[in-house]
Structure 1
Amino acid sequence: MELSYILNELAEDRDEYFRAVSPPIIQTSNFAFKTVDDLRRSFEDEYATWLYSRGLNPTVEILRRKLAALDAAEDCLVFNSGAAAIFAAVLANVKSGDHIVSVKEPYTWARKMFDEILPRFQVAVTYIDGTDIANFEKAIQPNTAVIYLESPNSWMFDLQDLRAVAALAKAKNIVTICDNSFCTPLFQKPYEMGIDLTLQSATKYISGHSDVIAGVLSGSSKQITRIFNSEYNNIGSGIQPFNAWLLIRGLRTLPARLERITRTTQAVIEFLKTHPLVERVIFPLDSSFPQYELAGRQMKGACGLLTFILKTESCEAIENFCNSLKHILMAVSWGGHESLIIPKCAGMPRDQFNPGLALHRSLRLYVGLEEPDYIISDLSQALDVIKHHS
């Protein structure tokens, strides 16, 4: 299926809504029925009709079909946050007494679920270095039900060999879940590589405008229908029609935005790699990246998220650098129109800062849609501030 068709035409039956180019927002909570038999059939199979917008809604349906096609999956659900998509995907595939293998340092709210919520129901988690397939083999137990992946993850960008992990899991009847927020479906398709459920934070590149919170979960029709009839409707975490409409709008420009961001990111990386105050730049498609070969095999691109490490012994210097930026915003998340930065030291008390650890001296930069020189000049002047104070 062609990308332009997915983004501009798939699931859009314009004859149904006055030939409008942009689909309508069906801002309704429920739907009426002409006969009792019609209502009865809807109760019997809510996934086959419109009943209540907590579940299915026509505007959301257009978005669902587009996102499933982008992931090359059979079906998908759209949630009101990425965290909700993670929660539903995992909860749907574990029971009391089960075991999960997860990559180390997963997304904050995945980790919170693994460490604080699931243990209440006797579900245990083993964290591993996912860069080596042997670590998965060692960690799997007879009661392992789920393998949880982030490839790349969102700070140091560690990868997992998705095909190898999928093959191992299928041989042992284990469900695989992969967070694909870094790449988007345009640059990586875990479902095509054998992963059972692929998810992403649509808050980021799918939206592209920093004005929507949403999550996507794609997989087989069997898995998605089962999750819809249980976790999705029970938790009530489905996206609202207006936010779905905003995401449809965001999809229209997704390829153009990613293309521009990718070009600008390369210029920013080249600047940072040659600056005397930058120790290292970490980016999956840079030749210096330890897993560069694997990244090239399973990723078509790497968008605009990178990490760089400053040469400094001082937490204060890192803070001064961030505080001196005039245009790059300090904030979490990524994928919008604006460039963002976040220092690792912001997540720890100052007295725990250890300059001997490169991670503590690292900053995560998201390259937005601004002109390359605009971003680079801001980085340059902020680096000059700490150079003059060192």
Structure 2
Amino acid sequence: MEFATKAIHAGQEPDPTTGAIMTPIYQTSTYAQSGMGEHKGYEYARTGNPTRTALEACLASLENGRYGLAFASGLAAESAVLSLLSAGDHIVSCDDLYGGTYRIFDRIMSRYNIETSYVTANRVEAYEQAIRPNTKIIWLETPTNPLLSLVDIRAVAEVAHRHNVLLVVDNTFSSPYFQRPLDLGADIVLHSTTKYINGHSDVIGGALIMNDQSVYEAIKFHQNAAGAVPGPFDVWLTLRGIKTLAVRMRQHEENARAVANFLTEHKRVEKVYYPGLASHPDHALARRQMSGFGGMVSFQFKGSLSDVDTVVRRLRVFTFAESLGGIESLVCHPASMTHGSIPREIREARGLNDTLLRLSVGIEDISDILRDLEQALA
């Protein structure tokens, strides 16, 4: 099946008992067992739930993976990956990444003597140079959050596997519609399903997809043992959102391209970050590695922090809020919101300063989106 068909059907056969087309919400905490060790595949809902099984199968299919695991949040999924590490291990990570991920590395994993080295996201050679004998994971976001740099997944995968290191790729910004890292050599794909996967800003969730059975079994053990699993209603909402993923992503990208072109020409804008622009330093890689450029646009504003506050207060179609990937347009100030946990000196050294705004371009009529930006920037 092609992508849009899999999004609607993969893992979601009609209910065998009733014939219901939509996967039912199995709102139960436990399951009847006929005898010692005899049951119908489910024992306890933390361990497994039929609604969750459908979501995990669908996500695996969309990423061309063998195994999918759903979690209560994107950060819960990240924690499950990090459960593969032991005290004294080492992580190599791209330097431009979600503030919550930095917070886990810096304030939680460091307590267990697990150190993280950060390298410039789009410099492949830097990853190999940073590898140590105790390195166990290379961690990528591509495109990165919020500066939208690209990482050559295939090239970094070759580096990782040459050194017997797992490659983890956060694919949240692209969604599997525009990029499938497992096909390029990644070992684990991570999603905050809160974002484009669900697409309607009404669920918190996360997911991991992989091909290696031993990696799957290790993370599956953590999923059950630590218990950060999503509830069946959240899973059902995510499944419902996935069904329109293909059509939503096409519209997100079409609108984002128009927004990026508009901002590039605006006198109040200093710099635009969007891999779909020919001027983007990683544009050629984006064309080669992705089937589209996504719906995220960041831009550097000419003015002060006070001017930025004025702009976000004037916006009417865009809502000033955390998160991304919903059908509605959102504007975020990373320095004080999503990346506020990163110390100022580190943020600014990476190019993330107080006048950067990140747009999650929605699927509203593009004329309304552009008029809203024009009046707010005026």
TM-score bracket, normalised by the shorter chain, equals over 0.9
- Partner residue of 2:19? 19
In structure 2, stretches of 5+ residues that fail to align are none
- Partner residue of 2:5? 5
1:255-314 per-position Cα deviation (integer Å, ceiling 9, x unaligned): 1111111111122222212211112211012111111111111111122110111222x2
Q: 1:370 aligns with which of 341, 354, 364?
A: 364
1:95-132 per-position Cα deviation (integer Å, ceiling 9, x unaligned): 11111111114222221221121222221111111211
How big is the shift at 1:79? 0.4
Identical pairs, percent: 36
Q: 1:90 aligns with which of 57, 82, 85?
A: 82
Higher-Rg structure is 1
How big is the shift at 1:358? 7.3
- Contact 2:96–2:146 at 8 Å: present in 1 too? no
Cα distance in 2 between the residues matched to 1:363 and 1:37: 55
Distance verdict in 2 for CA 1:37–1:202, change over 3 Å: closer
5 Å matches for 1:228-307? 228-229=220-221, 231-307=222-298
3-state SS of 1:157 partner: coil
Q: Provide TM-score, normalisation by structure 1.
A: 0.90
- Residue 317 (structure 1) aligned with residue 307 (structure 2): yes
- Residue 212 (structure 1) aligned with residue 206 (structure 2): no
How big is the shift at 1:139? 0.5
Structure with the higher fraction of residues in helix conformation: 1
Q: 1:57 aligns with which of 31, 46, 49?
A: 49
5 Å matches for 1:80-229? 80-92=72-84, 94-220=85-211, 221-229=213-221
Pairwise CA RMSD:
2.0
- Contact 1:105–1:111 at 8 Å: present in 2 too? no
How big is the shift at 1:22? 1.2
1:27-50 per-position Cα deviation (integer Å, ceiling 9, x unaligned): 1111111111416xx9xxxxxx21
How big is the shift at 1:15? 5.2
- Contact 2:65–2:210 at 8 Å: present in 1 too? yes
In structure 1, stretches of 5+ residues that fail to align are 43-48, 385-390
5 Å matches for 1:39-78? 49-78=41-70
How big is the shift at 1:154? 1.6
- Partner residue of 1:45? none
Cα distance in 1 between the residues matched to 2:233 and 2:166: 33
1:219-263 per-position Cα deviation (integer Å, ceiling 9, x unaligned): 02331122112x211221111111111111101111111111111
Distance verdict in 2 for CA 1:180–1:15, change over 3 Å: closer
1:37-71 per-position Cα deviation (integer Å, ceiling 9, x unaligned): 416xx9xxxxxx21111121111111111100101
- Partner residue of 1:387? none
Cα distance in 1 between the residues matched to 2:49 and 2:33: 15
Q: Provide TM-score, normalisation by structure 2.
A: 0.93
Cα distance in 1 between the residues matched to 2:218 and 2:352: 44
How big is the shift at 1:324? 1.2
- Partner residue of 1:388? none
The amino acid across from 2:157 in the alignment is A
- Partner residue of 1:340? 330
Distance verdict in 2 for CA 1:280–1:101, change over 3 Å: same
Cα distance in 1 between the residues matched to 2:276 and 2:328: 22
Distance verdict in 2 for CA 1:86–1:31, change over 3 Å: same
3-state SS of 1:307 partner: strand
Cα distance in 2 between the residues matched to 1:208 and 1:358: 26
